[in-house]
């Protein structure tokens, strides 16, 4: 590999480094690996620890998602067992029947269909619904706005608990006409956002995030953090990775575990970090991610994401790609990322290839292939695609396996800049001379005086 003007470049050794630990060379401790194993380890997912990060319906849906997409029968049954236990603590008989059908007797008689439990829950649900309808009708008759709002809100909670998400959304939205304070409007928006995320209707999420942000009173920090998370998920679903990264990076430490019915702090770090790597340039990565004090707290929860970001910025590409490889199997089991992983990984790898080639006039593709842990043939195909897409200005010597940068004509560019500067100077001088002539002969327009 030859540096510019043939001089040796100190980045060369750095680019070829594999970086087994952090940027400072220190390996990750075993304690931190165990603590964050549900999210970041290359080992099989610790389902119990992973599920412990969430509450409510999203916990059940994530467990069922793992059961549907995991190739390990043991993990499938463990996820279904935990989903079964979690559902029995609630009132959603529809999800219960779905889980029992998937278990199909593989977990023994304790996890078989409990028809008596279903009948009891459904009977109580009918009684509860009749009571709520009676109360709401009384509130409507008396025209008490706050009571009507609470009545619709109770109906929304009831439908949500029983899995009727469409009816829950309608009930929550109906409270809007009876909201009397900004706090009520924010609560309505958060409820609508929660149900919309469950229904995978992210256009509604964006709409209600905007409504909540437009309330006249200032939002408290935890609410701001929740809205940023919801907006980030909406952008992520729409594959707007840069916008998603910006929203996740705005999440403050006040979030904590307060939004566990939707997202965990570890997810904020993972989603935000990967979207930033895929869409940010080097300067943005440094200023908005690495130097972001608030986001650094989230990255501490997921050491491998933190290290791969630092390795990418430090040009330790082999180590960065190794971390990505370790994360991939677990990310494929994430309910929001599973169908985006390949796209994100391709974009991150392409950015690494582009960044690697920028400082040099010529690059030995054999050394570059070693740095990226790939074959020369495979690397050549990747570079061909990037050159075709005009992302790398270079040409390939296939015989000698050398990549030559195609730099712009510096002499011509300088000449054009000089001409442009001269023209601008000429225009400015002419304007100054014209103004001085007008002032000299008193050719200035005065405002008409009002009589």
pLDDT number for residue 334 = 92
Residue 18 has pLDDT above 60, yes or no: no
Mean pLDDT value of segment 312-322: 87
pLDDT (tens digit per residue) in 284-295: 999 999 999 989
With bands split at pLDDT 50, 70 and 90, how would you rate the model's confidence at 443?
A: confident
* Residue 43 pLDDT: 61
- For position 395, what pLDDT does the model report? 84
Confidence of residue 423 (pLDDT cuts 50, 70, 90): very high
CA distance 153 to 225: 23
What's the whole-number mean pLDDT along residues 345-373? 85
Q: Is 4 left (phi over 0), alpha (psi -120 to 50) or beta?
A: beta
Residues 169-218 have pLDDT tens digits of 999 999 988 888 889 999 999 999 999 999 999 999 999 999 998 887 87
Q: How confident is the model at residue 37 (pLDDT cuts 50, 70, 90)?
A: very low
Q: Is 70 in a helix, a strand, or coil?
A: coil
DSSP string, 291-315: T-HHHHHHHTTSHHHHHHHHHHHTT
Structure tokens at 364: 């030995």
Residues paired with residue 362 on neighbouring β-strands, in sequence order: 2, 404
pLDDT at 69 over 60: yes
Q: Which helix (H) or strand (E) segment is 132 a member of? A: helix 115-142
Q: Cβ(321)–Cβ(15) under 8 Å? A: no
Percent of residues, the chain, with pLDDT higher than 70: 88
DSSP state, residue 397: E
> 110: which 2 tokens?
């304790």
Euclidean distance between CA atoms 359 and 104, whole angstroms: 59
pTM, entire model: 0.77
How does pLDDT run across 133-168, given as a tens digit for each residue? 898 888 888 888 889 989 999 999 999 999 899 999
Cβ contact 395:404 at 8 Å? yes
- Residue 323, CB half-sphere, CA atoms under 13 Å: how many? 31
Confidence band, pLDDT 50/70/90 cuts, at residue 6 = very low
What SS3 state is found at 175? Answer: helix
Place of tokens 């919309």: 196
- 18: tokens are 């594999």
């Amino acid at each position: 590999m030859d540096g510019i003007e043939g001089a040796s470049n100190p980045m060369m050794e750095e680019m070829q480094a594999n970086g087994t630990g952090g940027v400072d060379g220190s390996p990750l401790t075993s304690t931190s690996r165990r603590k964050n194993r549900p999210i970041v380890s290359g080992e099989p997912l610790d389902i119990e620890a992973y599920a412990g990060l969430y509450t409510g319906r999203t916990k059940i849906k994530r467990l069922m998602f793992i059961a549907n997409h995991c190739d390990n029968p043991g993990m499938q049954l463990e996820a279904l067992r935990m989903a079964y236990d979690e559902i029995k603590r609630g009132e959603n008989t529809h999800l219960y029947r779905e889980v029992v059908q998937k278990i199909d007797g593989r977990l023994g008689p304790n996890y078989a269909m409990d028809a008596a439990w279903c009948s009891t829950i459904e009977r109580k649900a009918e009684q509860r619904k009749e009571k709520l309808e009676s109360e709401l009708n009384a509130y409507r008759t008396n025209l008490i706005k706050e009571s009507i709002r609470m009545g619709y809100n109770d109906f929304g909670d009831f439908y949500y608990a029983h899995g009727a998400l469409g009816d829950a959304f309608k009930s929550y939205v109906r409270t809007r006409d009876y909201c009397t304070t900004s706090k009520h409007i924010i609560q309505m928006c958060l409820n609508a956002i929660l149900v919309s995320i469950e229904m995978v209707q992210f256009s509604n999420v964006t709409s209600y995030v905007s409504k909540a942000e437009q309330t006249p009173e200032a939002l408290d920090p935890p609410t701001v953090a929740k809205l940023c998370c919801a907006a980030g998920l909406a952008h992520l679903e729409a594959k707007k990775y840069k916008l998603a990264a910006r929203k996740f990076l705005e999440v403050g430490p006040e979030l904590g575990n307060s939004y566990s019915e939707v997202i965990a702090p570890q997810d904020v770090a993972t989603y935000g970090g990967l979207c930033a790597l895929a869409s940010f340039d080097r300067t943005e990565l440094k200023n908005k991610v690495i130097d972001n004090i608030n986001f650094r707290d989230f990255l501490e929860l997921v050491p491998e994401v933190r290290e791969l970001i630092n390795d990418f910025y430090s040009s330790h590409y082999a180590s960065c790609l190794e971390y990505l490889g370790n994360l991939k199997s677990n990310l494929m089991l994430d309910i929001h990322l599973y169908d985006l992983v390949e796209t994100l990984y391709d974009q991150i790898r392409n950015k690494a290839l582009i960044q690697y080639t920028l400082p040099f006039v010529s690059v030995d593709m054999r050394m570059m292939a070693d740095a990226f842990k790939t074959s020369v043939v495979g690397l050549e195909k990747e570079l061909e695609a990037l050159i075709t897409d005009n992302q790398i200005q270079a040409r390939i010597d296939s015989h000698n396996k050398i990549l030559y940068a195609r730099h712009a004509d510096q002499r011509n560019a300088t000449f054009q800049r000089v001409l442009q500067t001269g023209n601008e100077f000429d225009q400015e001088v002419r304007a100054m001379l014209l103004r001085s002539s007008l002032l000299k002969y008193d050719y200035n327009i005065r405002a008409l005086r009002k009589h």
